[in-house]
Amino acid sequence: MYAILTLCFAHIKKRKIQNVLLAILIMLSTLLLATSVTIIMNTSNIFEKTHHDSNGAHQILTMGKDIHNPITVNNWWQEQQGVTASNLIPYRNLSGFTANGVKTPNLYLFMMNTPKTPFTIDRLLFSEGENQDYPTEGTIWIPTSMASTSNISLGDAIEFNSGENAFTLSVSGIVVDLPYGGPFTTNARIWMNDSDYHKQFDTMIGSEQYMMALRFDDYQQSANYWIEFEKFLNGPYLESKMEYESIAGFYLIINKIIGFLMVAFGIAMLFISLFIIGFSISDAILTNYKTIGVIKSLGLTSRKISATYVLQFGLLSVFSIIPGLIASTVLSRVIIESSLSYLKAGKHLTIIQDFRIIILLAVIILVIVILTAFIYSNKARHVEPVQAIKYGMSEFANNKVNRRLNNSNRLSNLVNLPVQLQVGIKNITKNMKSSILIIVLTAITSAILVFSAVILNSFISIKQNTSAMGYDSSHVVVTVINDATFSKQQFEQFLRSDERIKNHAWLDQFTGVLPNGPNQPLNINVDTIEGSFDDAGYETFSGRNPVNKNEIAIGINVAKALHKNIGDIVEVYIEGKQHHLIVTGIYQSIANMSYSARISADVIKVYNSTYSASKQSMINLVDETLSAQIVDDLNNNFNSSVSAVTQQTLLDGVFKQVVAVFILPLSVIVILFIAVTFIIIFSVSRINVRKESGTYGIFKSIGMTSNTIRWSITSGILFLSALGTIFGIFIGVKVIPVALQSILLEYGLLELPLAINWPVSIGLSLLSILAACLGCWLSTRIIAKTSPRILLVD
């Protein structure tokens, strides 16, 4: 045992820098894997905990008085055993608000008449502000999503416009409001005092709407309740229904993507670390081949020699894994706090650190490292003392090296390259394993760099891909905020008389019910257009948009749920009226997770001949650069009845938070892999330089300068890393986005539309080449510092 320990510590001392760098690699692998496990584990847990603490709803029903009687519906659910139903909460709809001098027109508001809290179910959790029974007069509670995206704090005044009058209320509470407070939301519930509610809306034109929440003792049994409920209604429920999956979905999507990337790249880094361990052991055995032969001739067994390497890398792993685990607790908290900030009730989220899983992960990494060291160290078994002492390697390896040198010499003479390039080529061909490692490593690093640039640019430049994301691609969007003062005829006359305007369309939304759902009827959003979906910029990935009164296009998740394809007939209820429509197209949309459909206004006119869409107008311009000018003109001319904004403003309001959340984890991964590229190539180049020290001593003795030799070696690394970067660009643009499809499909995207900024992407990918070349250049300093005589002796 004493001999094993002596040899083990001798190996560690002899290669301090190499062992330190390898320890850093194992630590970084542990950091990424432990962080990804914590993120994945907490993403669902934090949401579930918040849902439990708020006694959260499984379904949210919204109703008017035109189709179902809200009181009758609420009474039926109140009588059911195994279901908790909230009381009806009245509300009125508004569009947009102004806070801190900034107008936000793209948030659609439910102005709630707050009942006394705590609610039976779907309780509000206070993130900021005093937890009171209800807002005091003149104040409101707003969701965390609205506060975060619009930078609203306690005490800020918010101005609302009902169309008939404007009024201002101050924020007294910021609350976690699960159903309408997640990422990507375009809705928000504003909780008002009863006196303020009646004061502002009693005289407002239009009817009051109602909302109620349902929580099932066993959510899996919800379909059975709905079968009985529809028997009671003598038909399907024909108004809006939000499911638990929709409530949870967008809270989880960002962390699912982040977790997936960190797991994938963490595993890649671990495999690279294992390769380096194997490479280091193989190199150590070859370098000390003669010494091992002598030791074996003196009686030390192959098993004990192998044990020295297993012990060496086992100790390195133990001292590397522990700081990796500690660092992961900090990094995972920062990422989770950022990505799940909407669920923060208080100063911090309650992040669960399951030490059993973390310790299990640490043990798995340690076992894999030890197993790798054991497998590679078994090469010491094949050391024959006589051959080791005679050749410094096996006789077979000696012959193989001689043949390779002869072949590389013939290749160099044939090509007749400059001496510097010949040295670089020999360095590549003589060390094929390390050459392949450099290509793979720079490919992975550049793939991460390119993918990070592409994914961030795709969200920053979302305007380029709005159609592929399921949105329209119009230039200006106008929302009618006051039906009483709005004249559609005057508005359209203004549009037709303006030569800057190319075309326009009117969009309306209805609740559609597909009674033949897999378990229960599907309640979906139905976009209804007066005009042309194509002109408005809506795309389908299969078929076409509907044009006629007997046609419909459906989202991919609707098509999947109903097993429908182009040409099939679907039965759908809209405004309580039954329609049988032909599927003309299938599209993807992140909005509503592709549980939606598109129809022309002619479908509504089948039962309502006087129908005219007048909720939202999408306008295209001859010159898009005039969008801001058109917005100002429309707001000035129709200030009391409409709110006009550019499409870019709407998109920024939805996606700017996504960009902010992605920046941190992607930056961490990118920095780690650039550091890993530098570390590994430094280590590999140092090993290769030590193996070829005699050759470089000869080069120096015949007149080659140290810098010439170093540049020659670096030129080979430059070629390999450039080749790896080319592969990496392809992987980052094509392969990684495809790997994300399994996650994205759940959220209504068959494929992730990308906006590629090639100059930026290629420029970032060159960082992997820079890290590789810098690592090689610094590792060859030993050539400059050492005299030719010592190199020859080494």
| Structural contact between residues 307 and 315, judged by C-beta atoms closer than 8 angstroms | no
Burial per residue of 614-638, b for 16 or more beta-carbon CB atoms within 10 angstroms, e otherwise: bebbbbbbeebeebeebbeebbeeb
Residue 407 in this model has a pLDDT that exceeds 60: no
What average pLDDT score do residues 115-144 get? 89
* pLDDT tens-digit map of 410-457: 444 444 556 666 666 776 777 777 888 889 889 999 999 999 899 888
pLDDT band for position 215 (cuts 50, 70, 90): very high
Structure tokens at 559: 């098509």
Q: Cα–Cα–Cα angle for 721, 725, 730, nearest 5°?
A: 155
Residue 190 in this model has a pLDDT that exceeds 90: yes
User: Among 86, 85, 84, 178, which Cα is nearest to 124's?
Assistant: 178
What angle, rounded to 10 degrees, do the helices at 706-730 and 419-430 form?
Answer: 60
Look up tokens 């891909």; give the residue. 465
H helix intervals, 340-487? 355-377, 385-391, 395-415, 419-430, 432-460
| Structural contact between residues 243 and 518, judged by C-beta atoms closer than 8 angstroms | no
* pLDDT tens-digit map of 500-554: 999 999 999 888 889 877 777 888 989 999 999 999 999 998 999 999 999 999 9
**pLDDT at site 381:** 65
**pLDDT at site 388:** 47
Q: What distance in Å separates the CA atoms of residue 609 and residue 30, rounded to the nearest whole number?
A: 66
Give me the amino acid identity at 684: V
**pLDDT at site 342:** 82
Structure tokens at 738: 């495809």
Q: What distance in Å separates the CA atoms of residue 715 and residue 722, rounded to the nearest whole number?
A: 10
**pLDDT at site 385:** 57
**pLDDT at site 101:** 82
Q: What distance in Å separates the CA atoms of residue 126 and residue 628, rounded to the nearest whole number?
A: 38
Look up tokens 């209820």; give the residue. 573
Structure tokens at 307: 């044990």
**C-alpha dist (Å) from residue 440 to 267, 437, 445, 775:** 14, 5, 9, 16
* pLDDT tens-digit map of 475-490: 999 888 777 778 898 9
pLDDT band for position 236 (cuts 50, 70, 90): confident
In total, the chain counts a number of residues equal to 794
For residues 431 and 577, the model is more confident at: 577
Count each helix (H run) and each strand (E run) in the chain, helices first.
27, 21
Mean pLDDT, the chain, as a whole number?
A: 83
**Highest mean pLDDT of the ranges 243-252, 272-281, 629-638:** 629-638
Q: Among 166-175, 197-206, 529-538, whose mean pLDDT is lowest?
A: 197-206
**pLDDT at site 460:** 82
State how far Cα 763 lies from the chain centre.
Answer: 22
* pLDDT tens-digit map of 621-644: 999 999 999 999 998 888 777 888
What average pLDDT score do residues 49-57 get? 90
**pLDDT at site 40:** 82
* pLDDT tens-digit map of 69-95: 999 999 999 999 999 999 999 999 887
Residue 235 in this model has a pLDDT that exceeds 90: no
Residue 46 in this model has a pLDDT that exceeds 60: yes
Q: Among 116-125, 225-234, 275-284, 451-460, whose mean pLDDT is lowest?
A: 275-284
| Structural contact between residues 138 and 169, judged by C-beta atoms closer than 8 angstroms | yes
**pLDDT at site 724:** 93
**Highest mean pLDDT of the ranges 47-56, 157-166, 512-521:** 47-56
Stretch (H or E) spanning 574: strand 569-574
pLDDT band for position 395 (cuts 50, 70, 90): very low
DSSP code string of 410-430: HHHHHHT--HHHHHHHHHHHH
What average pLDDT score do residues 268-285 get? 79
pLDDT band for position 292 (cuts 50, 70, 90): low
**pLDDT at site 392:** 47
**pLDDT at site 471:** 86
Percent of the chain with pLDDT over 70: 88
Residue 356 in this model has a pLDDT that exceeds 90: no
What average pLDDT score do residues 247-265 get? 81
**pLDDT at site 468:** 85
Q: What distance in Å separates the CA atoms of residue 771 and residue 670, rounded to the nearest whole number?
A: 12
State how far Cα 690 lies from the chain centre.
Answer: 43
Taking the alpha carbons at both ends of the chain, their separation in whole angstroms is: 30
**pLDDT at site 403:** 56
Peptide bond connecting 515 to the previous residue in cis, omega within 30 degrees of 0: no
Look up tokens 């530098």; give the residue. 678
State how far Cα 731 lies from the chain centre.
Answer: 17
| Structural contact between residues 581 and 619, judged by C-beta atoms closer than 8 angstroms | no
| Structural contact between residues 731 and 452, judged by C-beta atoms closer than 8 angstroms | no
User: Among 18, 63, 35, 56, which Cα is nearest to 575's?
Assistant: 63
Q: How many CA atoms lie within 13 A of 492 on its CB side?
A: 13
Q: Cα–Cα–Cα angle for 563, 566, 568, nearest 5°?
A: 65
**pLDDT at site 418:** 64
Q: Enumerate the β-bridge partners of residue 530.
A: 506
**pLDDT at site 296:** 64
pLDDT band for position 156 (cuts 50, 70, 90): very high
| Structural contact between residues 215 and 57, judged by C-beta atoms closer than 8 angstroms | yes
pLDDT band for position 253 (cuts 50, 70, 90): confident
**pLDDT at site 299:** 65
Structure tokens at 493: 């006359």
CB atoms near residue 422 (< 10 Å):
18
**pLDDT at site 288:** 66
State how far Cα 462 lies from the chain centre.
Answer: 15
